[in-house]
Amino acid sequence: MHELRPLLRIHARRWPWLAAGAALMLLAALAGFGLLALSGWFITATGLAALVLAAGGTAALDIYAPGAGIRFFAVGRAVSRYGERLITHEAVLRLLADLRVWVFRRLMGLDLARLGQLRTGDTLSRLTADVDRLDQFYLRLLAPVAVALFGLIIATNVLALFAPASALAVALALAAAAIGAAVVTGRMAAGPGERLVGLAGRLREHILLGLRGMAELRVYGREEDALQRVDALSRQHELTNRALARMAGLTQALGTLATFSGVWLAALLAIPLVEQEVLSGPGFALVLLGALALMELVTPLPLAAQALSRTRTAARRVLSLAPPERLQANGPSRPGDGTLRLEAVSYRYPPALTPVLDSVSLVVQPGDCLAITGPSGTGKSTLIGIVTGALAAESGQVLLGGDAVSDLSPEAIGRRAAWLPQRTVIFNASVADNLRMADPQATEQSLWHVLWLAALDETVAALPDGLETWLGAGGRALSGGEARRLCLARTLLQPAAPLLLLDEPTRGLDDATARRILDHLTRVAEHRGVVVVTHDAHLLPDGFSRQTLGAGRLASAF
């Protein structure tokens, strides 16, 4: 069960919410138990009193105390159930946020080679469907088991005040039936549960691939084959779901049968007590209906066992995204001195025999402005990927701020080096919101400054709402070059990073704008190190040191 340990650690952060939700679940279950048991006692007592009075006898019955108790349990059940919904929903939403951040951090910990092996549909399934199943760990497993355990103990002690033997027999019978049903259900549902999780990922993957490649499928006349594969996976998914639903219905039926059997057992053991006048008629009804109310406590246990297999499978799929030890090693917390040092670094893309980088060495310090140029395919972007930890060097050493990159977490690397990759993202938000993702506390003056550095200040000033202009999905309010410059401004805004790694910051720009941006970057280099990967060597101003990467080697002047 090692795959569930990270889940327990994540849940432990929200223990006040989870404990409050479980406590309200328990109160609602006990209120239901008290309501049914007391109602049985009151109805029976009222009926017996009416028969005595009809026979000409005398009878005294206090209807106010039990009536108040019934109202108390009824209102308490409704209030606790409503409160439980509020608290558990809040707890679950917070857990969902924690789980998604946890999964995303695992994705951040992967190198580019491992990320390239992940299919979009499967990765999306892990980020959505699998995380949703992990969310059920509390609602379907932890809370129901805890409520059943404590509720059964409390309710059994209450029933034992009236009929100890009946209470003990019912508790043991229900516990044995629930545990047995849970074990059997867990074993039977293990295979279908794992298949269901895998089928959901494969189905989503095939649907996304089919939609993305619809044009190619139509050109080659293979769209029918793609539809048949999706249809076959859909049928398998539906059949597996139906099998699990039938299993759930069967376990609920068996749980109901076990509960009624427990009620009959309680009746058989309580009847002699009534004959001996140790237990009154209303007390007999209280014991029977109280035993019947215990069904609410034990019914969720077989369903929890069924959910366990799916939760474990989802946890394994999420954990397989990255080795845990990489994420747990946070590395040094100090900011570093801003120095980048590569010592005889080599890298090859498997299964290539020739390395794309071969014994590369360089040193960049704050104040240095280095441009790495060279033909396509000589490893310029690969070099940046190794510095950021996205790729692992085959040999040699990479030091960032005085520490090995391999010893730093993604967060620590981000604090020491701000990276502008070739593929950038504009979020469906305002210009200011997109910029402040790099520094939430940035002032408006700082935003305009980085926009000026990226030669985008005039463009943003001309927008209808300036910094508050909404960019839309994918930044559709901006052109490709403007979106690229906005991402560059966001990278420059990161306040703590003493090193800037800019991969093709002037791609897609006219020469005049590109020269303006590169000239502004030399001013940034007064207190930060700047490394620019570019094909536009002819646009570089005098402030840049030019180093050409080719034939797998980089000769550095530093």
pLDDT at 122: 63
Kindly state whether residue 335 falls inside one of the protein's structural domains. no
**Burial track 423-438 (b if 16+ CB lie within 10 A, e otherwise):** ebebeeebbbebbbeb
Query: Using CA atoms, how far apart are residues 366 and 21, in angstroms rounded to an integer?
Result: 52
Query: Using CA atoms, how far apart are residues 261 and 253, in angstroms rounded to an integer?
Result: 12
288 and 186, same domain (yes or no): yes
204 and 71, same domain (yes or no): yes
Residue 218: strand, helix, or coil: helix
441 and 488, same domain (yes or no): yes
CB 337 within 8 A of CB 401: yes
pLDDT at 30: 92
Look at residues 370, 401, 371 and name the one whose alpha carbon lies nearest to residue 387: 401
Look at residues 348, 334, 366 and name the one whose alpha carbon lies nearest to residue 531: 366
Look at residues 433, 428, 409, 424 and name the one whose alpha carbon lies nearest to residue 332: 409
pLDDT at 26: 92
Kindly state whether residue 29 falls inside one of the protein's structural domains. yes
Residue 520: strand, helix, or coil: helix
Place of tokens 């002819």: 538
304 and 389, same domain (yes or no): no
φ and ψ of 400, to 5 deg: -125, 110
Choose the final residue of a domain: 328, 348, 374: 328
Residue 326: strand, helix, or coil: helix
Query: Using CA atoms, how far apart are residues 317 and 92, in angstroms rounded to an integer?
Result: 21
CATH of the domain at 352: 3.40.50.300
Query: Using CA atoms, how far apart are residues 173 and 193, in angstroms rounded to an integer?
Result: 28
Chain mean position to CA 153: 34
Query: Using CA atoms, how far apart are residues 183 and 181, in angstroms rounded to an integer?
Result: 6
| Burial label, 288 (beta-carbon count in 10 A; 0-12, 13-18, 19+) | buried
Kindly state whether residue 334 falls inside one of the protein's structural domains. no
Kindly state whether residue 77 falls inside one of the protein's structural domains. yes
Chain mean position to CA 440: 23
Choose the final residue of a domain: 296, 328, 360: 328
248 and 388, same domain (yes or no): no
Kindly state whether residue 312 falls inside one of the protein's structural domains. yes
Chain mean position to CA 73: 37
What single-letter amino acid sits at 417? A
φ and ψ of 360, to 5 deg: -85, 135
306 and 187, same domain (yes or no): yes
426 and 456, same domain (yes or no): yes
Look at residues 81, 93, 100, 76 and name the one whose alpha carbon lies nearest to residue 138: 93
Choose the final residue of a domain: 281, 304, 328: 328
What are the residues facing 399 on neighbouring strands?
341, 404
Query: Using CA atoms, how far apart are residues 220 and 185, in angstroms rounded to an integer?
Result: 47
pLDDT at 267: 84
Locate 494 and state its tokens.
């990161």
CB 294 within 8 A of CB 259: yes
Kindly state whether residue 333 falls inside one of the protein's structural domains. no
At a CB cut-off of 8 Å and minimum separation 6, what does 55 contact? none
CATH of the domain at 150: 1.20.1560.10
370 and 239, same domain (yes or no): no
49 and 151, same domain (yes or no): yes
492 and 517, same domain (yes or no): yes
pLDDT at 277: 81
What are the residues facing 395 on neighbouring strands?
346
Q: Where are the beta strands (DSSP E) in 237-384?
A: 340-347, 357-364, 369-373
293 and 375, same domain (yes or no): no
H runs (alpha helix) in 372-479: 380-387, 410-416, 431-436, 444-453, 457-461
Structural domain range at position 464: 340-554
Structural domain tally of the chain? Answer: 2
What are the Cα distances from residue 174, in Å, to 36, 167, 228, 263?
Answer: 18, 11, 47, 10
Mean pLDDT, the chain cut into blocks of 10 residues (558 residues total): 74 88 92 90 87 81 86 92 91 84 73 60 68 78 87 88 84 77 70 75 77 81 85 88 80 75 82 84 87 82 76 76 49 69 84 78 86 81 84 86 82 84 85 89 90 91 88 81 89 84 86 89 81 85 77 40
Kindly state whether residue 315 falls inside one of the protein's structural domains. yes
Look at residues 185, 190, 232 and name the one whose alpha carbon lies nearest to residue 316: 190
Kindly state whether residue 118 falls inside one of the protein's structural domains. yes
387 and 265, same domain (yes or no): no
Locate 524 and state its tokens.
């940034």
User: Starting at the edge strand that comes first in sequence, how are the strands of the sheet with 417-420 ordered?
Assistant: 417-420, 499-503, 529-533, 369-373, 545-550, 553-554
